[in-house]
Amino acid sequence: MKTAGKIAKFAAVCASAIMLCGCAGKESQIIARTSYQDVDKPVRCNVELPPKPSFDKTTPSTAGDVAAYHEEVERLLLLCVGEKR
């Protein structure tokens, strides 16, 4: 029984030595690189939106009202993030 324990210890020491020496001759390599990216942060904006106009398919002039509404909303929200147009 003592010889079985000695053999197991010897095998464990040999296996550890082989594992630790396996990569000793290689040059070190960079495994992962850190890359930084800009991340947009949500911004709280206290803007009162103008009333949304309704679109009527039979009256083409309502399309201009809707387009003007969208431009105004975009302008207001760009002011929240500090961009001017």
Q: Give per-residue pLDDT as tens, 17-64.
A: 887 776 666 677 777 888 899 988 777 888 888 888 888 888 888 888
For residue 26, what is the DSSP state?
A: S
Whether the per-residue pLDDT at 85 is higher than 70: the answer is no
pLDDT of residue 55: 83
Closest by CA position to 77, among listed 36, 44, 31, 33: 44
User: How far is Cα 64 from Cα 53, in angstroms, rounded to an integer?
Assistant: 10
Q: Is the pTM for the entire model greater than 0.75?
A: no
pLDDT band at 14 (very low <50, low <70, confident <90, very high): confident
